[in-house]
Every structure is written in structure tokens, then in C-alpha cells.
Amino acid sequence: MRSKVTVVGAGNVGATTAQRIFERGCADVALVDIVEGLPQGKALDMLESGPVVGSDARVVGSNGYEETAGSDIVVITSGIARKPGMSRDDLLLTNMKIVTSVVQEVVKYSPGCILMPVTNPLDAMAQRAFQVSGFPKNRVVGMAGILDTARFRTFLAEELDVSVESTAAYVLGGHGDTMVPVVGSTTVGGRPIADLLSPSRLAEIVKRTQDGGAEIVGLLKTGSAYYAPSAAVAQMVESILFDKKQILPCTAYLEGEYGIHGLFVGVPVKLGANGIEEVIEFDLTDEESAALQRSAAAVRELVDVMAAAG
């Protein structure tokens, strides 16, 4: 019997995520949205591509949560998207209410699932999902670091005219302007990035990575990124469903790791059948460590605002 993945939100991120999972054939998919006909239409369209892409997976669309029952993973993409000039943090209280409602519903039907928040501001939404669900910390894992790292690796590969597969890097911290590309451990073809790029050019690429989402929002004008985010979610889903135990940068609840307590922040984790099976700690430079603490402080500010709002 195939595994089952629910994707809540049938907008660009959610629908593309559902498509990627369906095309891999690794799980049946339930696509949920409040807009009548939207998830049903997109699900049917995907299903009819099965003979072409070679997928026998099942995909259904629904405006309710009955179809989500028994899900192994629930991906939460629902919420309002950024517009030009908005930060991820501007979405906080509206999306907090949406995520709260979604989590309350999905845990009724899939009490043993792993929750995967994607809605922005992502770290704060993961914190909210954790609080509302009552799940253990290993079963709430946010998608952010894979996306941020992919952007960093893309820009490095373009700059050095090499394959993206030859770049190795991690981006830690909150999914926002304070994210921390870990330059000290970044390599290209095994060579330290500091040996290949000047400090000024490297700083420019780090800055572009931090502003990567805003750059796309500014170009699209009426939406935000979805191809790269959905690819990141699909990688996480496969690592869990196939118990790959990949080391991936994800948003995880920390209890002392990296000196951070009681907060969801992006760090490398081992992602397997049980969700987050281990938080991987590695040495940071003093500058990187300080930047990570600043990023965590920015996330905590959002969590405090949510707590005050109730």
C-alpha cells in the first residue's frame, strides 16, 4: 500500500508540491483548499497526466479534511502570499490564524502524521503548528533551509561556471533576511569557497541569497516563488517516506543545540521515517555563531508577538 501525503493549500506552492509528489509515484496525494472546485480541478488534471508521466498514484481534491485521513505527512502551504514590498513577517497574524485552523483539522484525521509547515513566516508557523498539534518535536519539521541553500548553491554555481552538484553548502537560521549562509564550510569541488571568490563578491552572493525570495516576488509582482519551494518539500517527503536519513537543513525545534532553547530555527537534521531523528551540530566561526543567534532572536520576536495575540 502506498503512503499518503496531504497538501493543504492548492495555490502555486501547494499544487506544484502535489504535482511533484504525484509524478514521483511515491505516495497518494490529497489536495485540500477552501476554494470550491479548485483542488478538485487541479487534482483531476494531475491524475490524468498519470499515463504520460508513468504514475499510478492516486490524487484527490477536497474542500474538507475527510479525504486526508490516515496521512503519513501533511504539508501546510495555505496562507496569504507576499506582495512586493512585504516581508515574510508582515504575514504573521493572518497566517497564524490559518495555520492554527489547519492544524486543528488535520490532527483529527491523521494523529500520527508528520507536519511540514511551508507557510510564511515559516519558523514562526512551525512553532505554532508544534504548539497547536501537541505533537513531539520530531514530528514537526519546517521547509526552509533546503530552499535557502539551493538558492545559495545556484548563485555560486553560476558565478563559478560549475555544476550545482559540485557545490556544497548550508544555510541556517530563520527563513528571512537574517538567514545565515555558512561560508566557512562552503566548498566547490571540495575547495573552500574563500579560495575561489573575493570576500566582497562572496558577500554580494550571500546578500542575494538572503533576498532571494524578495527578488522573485519583485519580478512576479502578483505572487511568490513556488518551483524551488515545492522541489524542496518533495525532497523532504522522499527522505521521510523512504527513510533515507538525509542530512538536510530544515526548521527544527531546538532545546539547547547551537545555544538556542525552545525555538524553531533552521539547522541541519537527519530526516527519516520518524521525522527529525537528530539535529546535526557542527562548528561555526564566531561570526557565524553570532549571526545565528541574531537570526534566532528575530524568530523569537515573532513568536512573542503570536503569544501576545493569543
Q: Where residue 150 sits, what CATH number does that domain have?
A: 3.90.110.10
For residues 171 and 242, membership in a common domain is answered with: yes
All three cell numbers of 291, joined, read: 549571526
For residues 187 and 116, membership in a common domain is answered with: no
Distance CA 273, CA 267 (A): 18
Last residue of a domain, one of 139, 172, 206: 139
* Host domain of residue 124: 3-139
Q: Classify 276 as helix, strand or coil.
A: strand
For residues 283 and 257, membership in a common domain is answered with: yes
Q: Exposed, middle or buried by CB within 10 Å (0-12, 13-18, 19+), for 154?
A: middle
For residues 180 and 228, membership in a common domain is answered with: yes
In this prediction, residue 89 carries a pLDDT of: 64
Position 223 confidence tier, pLDDT thresholds 50, 70, 90: confident
Position 280 confidence tier, pLDDT thresholds 50, 70, 90: very high
How many structural domains compose the chain?
2
Domain containing residue 81: CATH number? 3.40.50.720
In this prediction, residue 87 carries a pLDDT of: 67
pLDDT in tens, 181-194: 999 999 999 999 99
For residues 121 and 178, membership in a common domain is answered with: no
Q: What is the pTM of this model?
A: 0.95
For residues 101 and 19, membership in a common domain is answered with: yes
For residues 158 and 195, membership in a common domain is answered with: yes
For residues 157 and 293, membership in a common domain is answered with: yes
For residues 221 and 88, membership in a common domain is answered with: no
Residue 15 has pLDDT above 80, yes or no: yes
For residues 221 and 295, membership in a common domain is answered with: yes
In this prediction, residue 82 carries a pLDDT of: 67
pLDDT average, residue stretch 2-20 = 97
For residues 184 and 297, membership in a common domain is answered with: yes
Last residue of a domain, one of 86, 105, 139: 139
Last residue of a domain, one of 119, 139, 159: 139
The residues annotated with a catalytic role in the active site are 175
pLDDT average, residue stretch 150-167 = 98
pLDDT in tens, 73-128: 999 999 977 677 766 667 888 999 999 999 999 999 999 999 999 999 999 999 99
Bridge-based pairing of strands 3-8 and 27-32 is parallel
Q: Which residues contact 5 (CB under 8 A, 6 or more apart)?
A: 21, 27, 28, 29, 30, 71, 72, 73, 74, 75, 237, 241
For residues 249 and 219, membership in a common domain is answered with: yes
Residues present in the chain in total? 310
- What residues pair up with 81 in beta bridges, in sequence order? none
In this prediction, residue 310 carries a pLDDT of: 74
- Phi and psi (nearest 5°) for 31? -110, 120
pLDDT average, residue stretch 8-13 = 97
The answer to whether the CB of 247 falls within 8 A of the CB of 281 is no
Find where cell 537570526 sits.
Answer: 295
Q: Which of 222, 34, 232, 20 is nearest to 117 (CA)?
A: 232
